[in-house]
Amino acid sequence: STGLDNLGIVTDAQGNAAVQAGSYITDKVYLGVTTGARGDTNAAINLDITKNLKLRGETGTDGSKAGVFYEREY
């Protein structure tokens, strides 16, 4: 076991590949890191405020961003 909840390879809109890894440090807080082939790295935190409301913050070589998301499963 790696101790990670997520480990994978992702691509962006231009087809550039990156390795993504992350883990839940509590049942409502997820920390993740994405590192691209060109050395660009982003770190993200997801906070589950309620079942449907989530906060996300991200910082990396291309700057920082944050958002509030509403998710609903059908």
Distance CA 54, CA 48 (A): 5
- Statement: the pTM of the whole predicted model exceeds 0.75: yes
| Two structure tokens written together for 62 | 């291309």
Cβ(17)–Cβ(9) below 8 Å: yes
Return all residues near 12 (Cβ < 8 A) that are at least 6 apart. 18
Q: Extract the residue ranges of the chain whose pLDDT is less than 50.
A: none
| Two structure tokens written together for 52 | 């449907």
Distance CA 48, CA 51 (A): 7
Q: ∠ CA(27), CA(2), CA(47), 5° rounding? A: 25
